[in-house]
Amino acid sequence: MQDYIDKMAPMFRPNILEMGEYAPPLEGRSGGYGLHDFNERTTEPHPLVLQRIDDFVRSGKVRVYPEYGRMDAAVAGYAGVAPGQIICTNGSDQAIDVIFRGIAGNGDVAVVPSPSFAMFYQSAGVQGARILAPRYAGPELEYPYEEVYESLEQRPKLVLMCTPNNPTGRAVDKAKAEEIIKEAGRREIAVLIDEAYHEFNPKGTLIDLTAYPNVFVTRTASKALGIASLRAGYAASAPDNIAQLRKIRGPYDVNMAAAAALTSLELPEVRDDIARYAAEVMARSKPVVEEFYRRKGVRFYPSDANFHLVDFNGMPFSARDAYGFLRDERLLIRPRSDPPNTARISIGTMNDTDLFMDKFSKLLARYGQ
């Protein structure tokens, strides 16, 4: 690798050569595993979502470039903002990326409270932005409000607020978040609020803070709506900010099957279905899983989302051991090295939960727990 870097350095920007690839373990997942590793919806989307995709495929218009008016209107209506405040993207990964590309240049500082979602680091890396990484800390792994507030002194270009945060699980406190946003605004610093999991924590949304001109909220269609394979997400912000982001996103980056699926957000049946799915996960499955963990002496961090960060320190086996055992049982979880020896474990429906507890009990029994 060093040979390659020495030889090819003139061709690639140094920050690209220095960064690593984000290569999540995706291969083979669709082959009959219980999927507790990527926080996706565990059931297929509502039939009316699939109907919109099917209607598009059968329309005889696959050869035509996409058009976005109805999608933008449906998404804006769902998010409760004006259509001019929305840009739809190829997954919310792309929303994050266009915001970084628009705002943080080479050598600029981005504040990314850590640990957090991998693509923040990737997008910062591509830009050559320098990351300041205050740590989530305390018994609930709370957002580091004070450190982030103080970091504004260093004139970052962008501050991240992932709420609820992946992988730690907690949402931010709105009043404390707003203090940071106001001070950042006074200093012309942008705040990116990632709400990938907002449907699982609907009361905690900060979407109305897009009234501040320095706030961007990103969201995804990959989780509660259930179309991760199609790659769709969006950003909401002030119309003038959205106009800037439109220059960066390609004119047809959202494919028309995804766009057709997003138009279904105009349907009350689809909105109800999303709320019902999220309620089953959060109000039924989550308390059952937590009761199970407590009963079995498994430590987990409190979460406002459809996953827990489980701590394997002090257990007679590691997070990687747990991953290996459960994979052989055809159930996938996501081991993590930060925080050390933890795993992020998604929560699904009651059916998924029953299966999960069955397999996790086998894991514990294997180690005499």
Ligand X SMILES: Cc1ncc(COP(=O)(O)O)c(C=O)c1O
End-to-end CA distance of the chain: 45
**Alpha-carbon gap, residue 160 to 134, rounded angstroms:** 11
Residue of 37, 72, 97, 194 that binds ligand X (CB under 6 A): 194
Residue 115, preceding peptide bond in cis (omega within 30° of 0): yes
Count of residues that interact with ligand X, criterion CB under 6 A: 13
DSSP 3-state of 265: helix
Residue 196 or 331 with smaller CB distance to ligand X: 196
CA distance 152 to 221: 31
CA distances from 229 to 18, 62, 179, 261, 322 (A): 30, 18, 37, 12, 27
By CB under 6 A, tell whether 100 contacts ligand X. Answer: no
Q: Which is nearer to ligand X, 93 or 273 (CB)?
A: 93
Note whether 331 and 32 are within 8 A (CB): no
Return d(Cα 365, Cα 72) in angstroms, integer. 51
Q: Quick check: 76 and 82 in contact, CB under 8 A? A: yes
In degrees, rounded to 5, the angle at the alpha carbon of residue 140 between the alpha carbons of residues 22 and 284 is: 85
Give the binding range for ligand X (CB under 6 A) out of 87-95, 184-192, 265-273, 358-366.
87-95
Is residue 117 a contact point for ligand X (CB under 6 A)?
Answer: yes
- In the complex, minimum distance from the CB of residue 328 to ligand X, in angstroms, rounded to a whole number: 25
Whose Cβ is closer to ligand X: residue 315's or residue 347's? Answer: 347
Residue 220 CB, nearest approach to ligand X (Å): 3
For the CB of residue 120, give the shortest distance to ligand X in the complex, in Å.
8
Looking at the Cβ atoms of 72 and 194, the one nearer to ligand X is: 194
Cα(357)–Cα(291) distance, integer angstroms = 11
Cα–Cα nearest to 206, from 44, 79, 65 = 79
Distance separating alpha carbons of residues 322 and 319, to the nearest angstrom: 5
DSSP secondary structure code for residue 83 in this structure: G
In the 3-class helix/strand/coil scheme, how is 19-32 assigned residue by residue? CCCCCCCCCCCCCC
Site for ligand X in 301-330 (CB under 6 A): none
Binding segment toward ligand X, per CB under 6 A, in 68-76, 89-97, 319-327, 353-361: 89-97
234 binds ligand X (CB under 6 A): no
Decide if residue 233 touches ligand X (CB under 6 A): yes
Residue 286: CB minimum distance to ligand X, A: 17
2, with CB counted inside 10 A (0-12, 13-18, 19+), is: exposed
- Smallest gap from Cβ 122 to ligand X, in A, equals 11
Which residues contact residue 200 at a Cβ distance below 8 angstroms, ignoring those fewer than 6 apart? Answer: 164, 223, 224, 278, 281, 282, 304, 305, 306
Q: Does 222 bind ligand X (CB under 6 A)?
A: yes
Contacts of 71 (CB under 8 A, 6+ apart): 88, 254, 259, 260, 262, 263
Q: Which residue, 217 or 363, has its beta carbon nearer to ligand X?
A: 217
- Residue whose C-beta lies closest to ligand X: 91
Give, as ranges, the residues between 17 and 76 that touch ligand X (CB under 6 A).
Answer: 39
Q: Which of 41, 72, 88, 93 binds ligand X (CB under 6 A)?
A: 93
CA angle 175, 179, 183 (to 5 degrees): 165
- Closest approach of Cβ 277 to ligand X, in Å? 17
Q: By CB under 6 A, which span of 90-98, 144-152, 248-256, 314-322 interacts with ligand X?
A: 90-98
Smallest gap, in angstroms, from Cβ of residue 79 to ligand X?
Answer: 14
Quote the least distance from Cβ 173 to ligand X, whole Å.
Answer: 18
Q: Does 196 bind ligand X (CB under 6 A)?
A: yes
Closer of 92 and 263 to ligand X (Cβ): 92
Q: Decide whether 17 or 228 has the Cβ nearer to ligand X.
A: 228
- For position 280 contacting ligand X by CB under 6 A, the verdict is no
- Contact status: 92 vs ligand X (CB under 6 A): yes
Q: Which residues of this chain interact with ligand X, rule CB under 6 A? A: 39, 91-93, 117, 162, 166, 194, 196, 220, 222, 228, 233
